[in-house]
Amino acid sequence: NNGKKKVKIAVVGCSHGEMDAIYETMAMIEEKKGYKFDLLICCGDYQAVRNHGDLPHMSIPPKYRSLQTFYKYYSGEKKAPVLTLFIGGNHEASGFLCELPNGGWVAPNIFYMGFANCIQFAGLRIAGLSGIYSHGDVDFSHYERPAFAERDVKSAYHVRNVDMFRLRQLKAANNDKLSNPVDIMLSHDWPGGIPDFGDSAWLFKKKDRFKEDHKSGKLGNPALMKLIYDCRPRYYLAAHLHIKFAALVPHKGSGSERPQPTRFLSLDKPIPGREFMQALEINVASDAKMELSYDPEWLAILKNTDLLTTADKTKIVLPDRIGSVPCVYERKDFRPTAEELEEIAKLGDLTIKTDTFKQTAPPLKEDTPEAKNVPPSAYYRNPQSA
Ligand code: 5GP
Ligand code: MN
């Protein structure tokens, strides 16, 4: 069937735990547009706080820490009206999220991507990276375990090179100069360099410190432009800087033909009067299923890069590292081989089952003064992370 239909996606930048307000805004847009959204994508600072025990693991000064509204969706008091997908930012219930390093359901109908992931929805490949860039932590493994030491509350949300290396393996084959291997890519902070591809004069006028930071290479994640050039996503969605900004990154092609450019969009924070939500309509096959599934290539990449995973605090030397360190890996190209993909195909149906969510912390029924007297959430073993 070659027919087409449109997937309707609502995108928000930072969520700040405002799930009620976000779903209400979506309902208003649905009424105006006369359609229903199929998916909500949140680009970090989501704040999946289950109870007061999750607050000490969130990087926010204690007097500003607040439960917000996610806990109602965790306890079952409310149900997300639209399938919701999110990456982490720099203000998260990091203890909860590190139960799910490779992603999983954090509540019915709400899916967290994990540190890095690529999944499919209606045949669209959606890749995401959680956290923000920090030079001092980027070469390390993910070693933080709750109850976090004071410093780990911050390093827990710093992005790691190993995850960006894995995402780069989603790139096209060397002789493929025309495809867009990824449809939508997500990160919380911006790819360093992105202002050059949009109206930077306008941006620097609006936000006076950005120009200086951009010039000195301090605005955003310096490794993400390479990810854009390698994976050529058709859309790139981000948040963090609390301003709506669009950009267009062209790609090199072959002769006069070239892949589609990357359309970058970052949105504002979710407060009334600010541009924090955007509707996207993307063509997909008319028989595309409106459900999530694992991406076979990503599963193969996770498997063939498993040698780079360590639970201890270790500096990870990556196979594509340029410099004086000799390459210790026999393999240089970690894009999945045909044989590796055949192994994954044996797994059969890769649909992500929707009924695997289980509460791992005591749900909060009501935010009473006594509810504050819970100890910091321990490290629960989440059955989905197996
Ligand atoms: P968050 O909401 O994550 O605490 O912080 C986002 C805020 O920090 C935004 O207001 C954003 O403009 C600011 N910010 C984040 N990174 C940078 C940066 O590299 N340079 C400047 N000037 N501001 C930044
Ligand atoms: Mn942020």
For ligand 1, what atom is nearest to the CA of residue 16? 2
Q: Which ligand has the nearest atom to the CA of 242?
A: 1
When pLDDT is averaged across residues 130-139 and rounded to a whole number, the result is 97
* Closest residue by CA, ligand 1 atom 11: 241
As a whole number of angstroms, the longest Cα–Cα distance in the chain is: 68
Residue 240 CB–ligand 1 contact under 6 Å: yes
Ligand 2 mean position to 253 CA, how many Å? 34
pLDDT of residue 327: 63
Residue 15 CB–ligand 1 contact under 6 Å: no
- In the chain, what percentage of residues exceed pLDDT 70? 96
Ligand 1 mean position to 108 CA, how many Å? 31
* Closest residue by CA, ligand 1 atom 7: 241
* Closest residue by CA, ligand 1 atom 13: 241
- Please choose, from the candidates 108, 118, 105, the residue with its C-alpha nearest in 3D space to the C-alpha of residue 78: 108
Residue 209 CB–ligand 1 contact under 6 Å: yes
Ligand 1 mean position to 242 CA, how many Å? 7
* Closest residue by CA, ligand 1 atom 18: 219
**How far, in Å, CA of 83 to CA of 270, rounded?**
19
List of residues 6+ apart from 335 with CB closer than 8 A: 169, 171, 173, 301
For ligand 1, what atom is nearest to the CA of residue 14? 2
Strand order in the sheet with 104-107: 104-107, 110-112, 84-86, 39-42, 4-12, 277-285
Identify whether the C-beta of residue 182 lies closer than 8 Å to the C-beta of residue 134. no
pLDDT of residue 35: 97
| Residue from 189, 241, 245, 268 to probe ligand 1 pocket by mutation (most atoms less than 8 Å from CB) | 241
Of the pLDDT bands very low, low, confident and very high (cuts 50, 70, 90), residue 149 is confident
pLDDT of residue 43: 98
Look at residue 322 and tell me whether its pLDDT is greater than 70: no
Higher pLDDT, 145 or 126: 126
Look at residue 146 and tell me whether its pLDDT is greater than 90: no
Ligand 1 mean position to 12 CA, how many Å? 17
- Please choose, from the candidates 140, 143, 192, the residue with its C-alpha nearest in 3D space to the C-alpha of residue 161: 140
ipTM (interface pTM): 0.98
- In the chain, what percentage of residues exceed pLDDT 90? 84
Higher pLDDT, 197 or 328: 197
Ligand 1 mean position to 228 CA, how many Å? 22
Tens digits of residue pLDDT in 353-383: 999 999 999 999 988 888 888 776 666 667 7
pLDDT of residue 340: 98
Residue 219 CB–ligand 1 contact under 6 Å: yes
Ligand 1 mean position to 219 CA, how many Å? 9
Ligand 2 mean position to 240 CA, how many Å? 4
Of the pLDDT bands very low, low, confident and very high (cuts 50, 70, 90), residue 231 is very high
Identify whether the C-beta of residue 130 lies closer than 8 Å to the C-beta of residue 44. yes
Here the tokens at position 84 are 């919701």
For ligand 1, what atom is nearest to the CA of residue 269? 2
The DSSP result for 77-98, as a single string, is SS--SS-EEE---SSS-HHHHT
For ligand 1, what atom is nearest to the CA of residue 132? 3
Cα dist from 210 to 193, 200, 265, whole Å: 11, 9, 17
Residue 90 CB–ligand 1 contact under 6 Å: yes
pLDDT of residue 277: 97
Average pLDDT over the chain reads 94
Of the pLDDT bands very low, low, confident and very high (cuts 50, 70, 90), residue 226 is very high
Residue 242 CB–ligand 1 contact under 6 Å: yes
Residues counted in the chain: 386
Per-chain residues with Cβ under 5 A from ion ligand 2: 45, 89-90, 240
Q: Which ligand has the nearest atom to the CA of 187?
A: 2
Identify whether the C-beta of residue 197 lies closer than 8 Å to the C-beta of residue 230. no
Residue 8, beta-bridge partner list: 281
Of the pLDDT bands very low, low, confident and very high (cuts 50, 70, 90), residue 386 is low
pLDDT of residue 323: 60
Please report the domains of the chain, with CATH numbers, ordered by start residue. 4-385 (3.60.21.10)
Of the pLDDT bands very low, low, confident and very high (cuts 50, 70, 90), residue 83 is very high
Look at residue 151 and tell me whether its pLDDT is greater than 60: yes
Residue 241 CB–ligand 1 contact under 6 Å: yes
| Residue from 188, 189, 240 to probe ligand 1 pocket by mutation (most atoms less than 8 Å from CB) | 240
Strands 124-129 and 184-187: parallel
End-to-end CA distance of the chain, in Å?
A: 37
Q: Helix (H, G, I), strand (E, B), or coil: what is residue 315?
A: strand
When pLDDT is averaged across residues 98-125 and rounded to a whole number, the result is 97
Residues 95-117 as b/e (b if ≥16 CB within 10 A, e otherwise) read bbbbbbbbbbbbbebbbbbbbbb
Q: How far is CA 325 from the centre of its chain?
A: 31
> Phi and psi dihedrals of 294, rounded to 5?
-65, 150
pLDDT of residue 324: 57
